[in-house]
Structure 1
Amino acid sequence: MLADDDAYSVLRSRDGRFDGRFFVAVVTTGVYCRPSCPAALPKRENVRFYPSSAAALEAGFRACKRCRPDSTPGSPEWNVRADVAGRAMRLIADGLVDREGVAGLAARLGYSERQLRRQLVADLGAGPQALARAQRAANARTLLETTDLPAGEIAFAAGFATIRQFNDTLHKVYGTTPTAMRGTRHARRSPGTLQLRLGYRPPLEATGLFGFLAARAVPGLEKAGDDHYRRVLTLPHGLGVVTLRAERAYVSCELRLEDLKDLPAAVGRCRRLLDLDADPRDVADHLGRDPVLGPVVAASPGLRVPGHVDAAEMAVRAVAGEESAAGRALLAGLVQRYGTPLPEPFGGLTHAFPRMEVLAEADAPASVAALAGADVLARVAALARAMVAGELALGPEADRDRAGRELLAVPGVDAETAGRIRLRALGDPDVFLPMDPAVREGLSRLGLTAEDARRWRPWRSYAMAHLTSARHRGT
């Protein structure tokens, strides 16, 4: 958190870069806002600042109906720190508290419930229950505004235990009723789908982002082009299909879910896939000071580092070699042979990615083995067995450094593969892969060496993205 006087200066400037980093509550109106809210500037003595929307709610404020602060992108601070608070927030956004309670959250993170609450209150101003409650309210608003589902179904889909809890929470957070919220919606709706808007901090270089995903798409599991991406999701309660498209000021997200309780998990994973919680201006401010890389960064504003919707799947893809045509052919064979089929094919998609339990025991037929060789399949199986046995943790709760050490203990996983997994599966913003051919070519074009990457910390992952982008542009 900024000091209060500095935060008030940000509020005065209406700087949207700080949306999601902190929240502004106004004593005289009883509402809390994002720093860029266009409402009249309140007096300094009437303003309070909070590190999370949940903290503002716990203090008795309700969300502003004008700027909708609960819909802001998450704080990019956690992308860099990746500490226990950041890992907890990813699990809460994934709906873990609704599925396993605070005890389950604490166990995943290796803390006692008391230790975890103390840490979250110190960093975010609210405990895990309050943070989860704020998440449920946001889920409920999304469903009310985008579907025709009965309010009772929405309450349980959003994670509430009772209808009364649902009504009381919405009144506390938004100062209105579910019926009134539904009456103000303007969203386009289609039968069987949820139409959402995913916000981000501009700018967003979408063409390269979708192009990256398209170049690595696995047939039957994914389908992509320069302006869209569609894939099958494996979620806690069932399967889903998501279609993402870049619009002028947001990313449209069309979801088809077997179980609506998977809404928070699906949205959180799509945000991680497209790196939507990052602040490209933070990255540009740092990398732009480099005398050689700076002009390259300026030529590609809003460049993101693609993540993934499933860390375990991404690890398998890295070991199988998704960067090569042979690796993608192997992955397509595994998907068709061992993936979970959709009840009905949709938009060219037929299967979900195989579960790790299946890959760990898979005896690949000759038709699949011929695509890459027995050695690659052996590495995939070893990786899957390590995850099933609990020897390797790659979920939202994973500590990056610990996961890196665990990856190197898996037979056949070298430092380059482990780094690629940290980059995309764990969202590490400071990975550098000097042996990657595209990175080496980018360095050579600029007359740089791998040693020069040290001055790009803590944003070396983004520096790699810019080197690759410069290579494609021929600059």
Structure 2
Amino acid sequence: MPTSAPTHEPVPTRPGERAFDRRYAAVRSRDRRFDGRFVTAVRSTGIYCRPSCPARTPLPRNVMFYATAAAAQEAGYRACRRCRPEAAPGSPDWDARADAVGRAVRLIEEGVVDRDGVAGLAGRLGYSPRHLHRLLVDELGAGPLALARAHRARTAALLIESGDLRLTDVAFAAGFGSLRQFNDTIRRVFGRTPTELRGEAGRRPLPAAAGAVELRLRRREPFAWPALVAFLERRAVPGLEEVVGASYRRALRLPRGAGRCELSDDGDAVRCRLWLEDLRDLAAAVARCRRLLDLDADPLAVDDRLGEDPVLARLVDATPGRRLPGTVDGYELAVRTVVGQQVSVAGARTILGRLVAAHGAPVGDDAPGVPALRGFPAPEVVAALPDEALPMPRRRVAALRGLARAVADGTLDLDGGDERGRVRERLLALPGIGPWTVEYLAARGLGDPDAIPVTDLGLRAAARDLGLPEDGAGLAIRAARWAPWRAYAAQHLWASLEPRPVPTPEHQR
């Protein structure tokens, strides 16, 4: 029998208490907006579910709520076979939170615990392993090992049900240390063996290309895929990334090797096709693709808030579910942003394309039918480039080298391990990095949904065309209404300057 709720839960979850009542109301109405925010555990069945589970609503006295699936699993519950809570989109809370817990969750999902252990995770965050464990247990009801174990189980289930990898390869790719650990975990979490789970999937595996791993990445609706892919296409660096039809492809620089991804719309999910030099990089690749496409966002919350402004309401109505494009590599985005200072998008693409062609390593030449791409040059490579390899003003070259050196020597962490405030300070301390660059990177690179570069000329032009204040100070005052989603508002404003994307005809998809 599952244990009762841990005494360290940070919010009340028992009948008669306000947090419990709010969550139970979401369960009674089967509200999909709460999927991924918490799970519902039922004492009488020993099962935990999504809030939107279509099964009969349990009696309040049998219900316990947990912040994470890991906490429910640690308490002895197994995942519901009907609603599959482990397949829900991630919590949008991690988009808004920049504290140690939020950063820890993101790094765990990138596979840091699997690669470096709890000590490595704690070191990235600047805490002792014991203090980090206490923080996570107090906040989420589970420590780093339990969270990592739950993430491995979730990744394995996705591979078992949507791909055709051998089960031994699934265990390896999901981060398990042994087949026994893999089998035991799957049986404990899902109440089925891996073979039984695959047999009960109820759907045919995705058609896999040679050497590829196929996944369906869940998201929340609405999801403005045409707008998102148009944004990526306009900024695509030749040789590094491309858009073909309605699919986006790019090279990946991963912890254990190189890789490539191909992302496309797939109804209620994103189809993700991955080619990896090392299957153990799967968790990192999936996490980066999710971050790039902002798949864990809550579009209804964003749109509702921005829609309170009558000017933005027109833009939101035209493109509901617009996402904040992220990045697969914070360092890469920083270099691209510095190169793009005071030049056109086309000009920056040309410079970056030459940089990739000359100094990026080939990725995946041996995959039949898949265009060869090149990875983005490593920070050590960029820091050592001669002046003639960087056709830019001297001050910008100095800024680029300073940035690359800071990432190479570990002074600057642009991939989620450091506090946003500290990253901002360290960026501003580098030569040639100003507030515009920092705010742009904070939004797309650090995942700050409230960052907005109000001095941006494009934003000011869009504001003028829409009848909003166009000076930086006036725009900042108006933008205060849009908090905590100002980065999304900026995306709407920039998009208002460009032609609306035309959906790709069905026969071209």
TM-score after normalising by structure 1:
0.95
2:259 is the counterpart of 1:231: no
Partner of 2:373: 350
Relative to structure 1, the CA distance from residue 117 to residue 177 in structure 2 (aligned partners, 3 Å threshold; closer, same or farther) is same
1:139 aligns with 2:155: yes
Q: Deviations over 1:183-242 (max 9, x none)?
A: 234222323111111111110111110000000001111001562210001111111110
Residue 91 of structure 1: aligned partner: 107
Mapping of residues 179-328 of structure 1, within 5 Å: 179-185=195-201, 186-190=204-208, 191-225=210-244, 227-321=246-340, 324-328=345-349
Q: 1:339 corresponds to which residue?
A: 360
For 1:431 and 1:18, the matched residues in 2 are separated by: 25
The CA distance in 1 between the partners of 2:123 and 2:491, in whole Å, is 35
Residue 501 of structure 2 corresponds to residue 469 of structure 1: no
What is the rounded CA distance, in whole Å, between the counterparts of 2:496 and 2:165 in structure 1? 48
Distance in structure 2 (CA, Å) of the matches to 1:249 and 1:149: 23
Structure 2 unaligned regions, length at least 5: 1-10, 12-17, 470-474, 501-509
2:427 is the counterpart of 1:411 = no
Decide whether aligned partners of structure 1 residues 163 and 247 sit closer, same or farther in structure 2, where only a CA change above 3 A counts.
closer
Distance 1:153 1:227, change over 3 A: closer
**Secondary structure at the counterpart of residue 207 of structure 1:** helix
Name the CA distance, whole Å, in 2 between partners of 1:68 and 1:220. 39
The more displaced of 353-362 and 308-317 is 353-362
The aligned residue for residue 5 of structure 1 is 21
140-149 vs 306-315, which deviates more? 140-149
C-alpha separation in 1, matches of 2:22 and 2:171:
39
User: Which residue is 1:20 aligned to?
Assistant: 36
Is the 2:362–2:372 Cα contact (8 Å) retained in structure 1? no
Encode CA deviations 1:423-465: one digit per residue, 9 max, x unaligned: 1111111111223232112211222121311221111101111
Q: 2:71 aligns with which of 41, 55, 61?
A: 55
Conservation of the 8 A alpha-carbon contact between 1:167 and 1:178: yes
| Structure 1, unaligned runs of 5 or more | none
Aligned AA for 1:454? A
Q: Is 1:443 the counterpart of 2:466 in the alignment?
A: no
Return the match for 1:359 from 382, 407, 416: 382
**1:307 Cα shift?**
0.4
Match of 1:430 in 2: 450
Structure 1 position 43, deviation (Å): 1.2
TM-score normalised by the chain length of structure 2: 0.89
| More off after superposition, 8-17 vs 374-383 | 374-383
CA–CA separation in structure 2 for the residues paired with 1:79 and 1:163: 34
> How far apart in 1 are the matches of 2:409 and 2:457?
34
Partners of 2:399 and 2:431 within 8 A in 1: yes
Please say if residues 198 and 271 of structure 1, whose CA atoms lie closer than 8 Å, have aligned partners that are also in contact.
Answer: yes
Q: Equivalent residue for 1:381?
A: 401
Give the letter aligned to residue 257 of structure 1.
L
CA contact (8 A) 2:241 2:373 kept: no
Tell me, what secondary structure is at the counterpart of 1:336?
Answer: helix
Opposite residue 79 of structure 2, the aligned amino acid is A
* Secondary structure of the structure 2 residue equivalent to 1:3: helix
> 1:110 and 2:131 equivalent?
no
1-side partners of 2:447 and 2:378: how far apart? 21
Question: How far 1:12 moved relative to its partner?
Answer: 0.4
1:157 Cα deviation from its structure 2 partner: 2.5
The 2-side partners of 1:425 and 1:119 are apart by: 25
Greater mean deviation of Cα atoms: 153-162 or 17-26: 153-162
Do the aligned residues in 1 keep the contact of 2:413 with 2:423 (CA within 8 Å)? Answer: yes
Alpha-carbon distance in 2 for matches of 1:232, 1:134: 28
2:364–2:372: 8 Å Cα contact kept in structure 1? no
Whole-Å separation in 2 of the counterparts to 1:393 and 1:155: 30
CA distance in 1, matches of 2:371, 2:458: 30
Report what 1:65 is aligned to. 81
> How many Å apart are 1:296 and its aligned residue?
2.6
Q: Check 1:160–1:148 CA distance in 2 against 1; reply closer, same or farther (3 A cut).
A: same
Q: Deviations over 1:62-121 (max 9, x none)?
A: 111111101111111121122111100110000000001011111111111111111111
- Cα contact 1:319–1:417 (8 A) shared by 2: yes
Post-superposition offset of 1:37 = 0.8
CA distance in 2 between partners of 1:155 and 1:248 (Å):
28
Tell me the percent identity: 50
Q: State the SS of the aligned residue for 2:89.
A: coil
Tell whether the 8 Å contact from 1:211 to 1:226 is kept in structure 2 after alignment: no
Q: Is the 8 A contact 1:146 1:194 kept in 2?
A: no
Aligned counterpart, 1:456: 482
Where 1:40 maps in the other structure, the secondary structure is coil
Task: Tell me the secondary structure at the aligned position of residue 274 of structure 2.
Answer: strand
Q: Compared with structure 1, are the counterparts of its residues 85 and 223 closer, same or farther at alpha carbon in structure 2 (3 Å cutoff)?
A: same
Counterpart contact for 2:159–2:215, Cα < 8 Å: no
Distance 1:398 1:345, change over 3 A: farther
Instruction: Confirm whether residue 77 of structure 1 aligns to residue 93 of structure 2.
Output: yes
CA shift in 2, pair 1:7/1:406, >3 Å: same
Q: Please say if residues 416 and 446 of structure 2, whose CA atoms lie closer than 8 Å, have aligned partners that are also in contact.
A: yes
Work out whether residues 42 and 58 of structure 2, in 8 Å CA contact, stay in contact via their aligned partners in 1.
yes
1 CA distance for matches of 2:463 and 2:245? 26
Displacement of 1:291 = 3.3
Give, as a single letter, the amino acid of the residue that structure 1 aligns with 2:149.
Answer: R
Q: CA RMSD in A?
A: 1.8
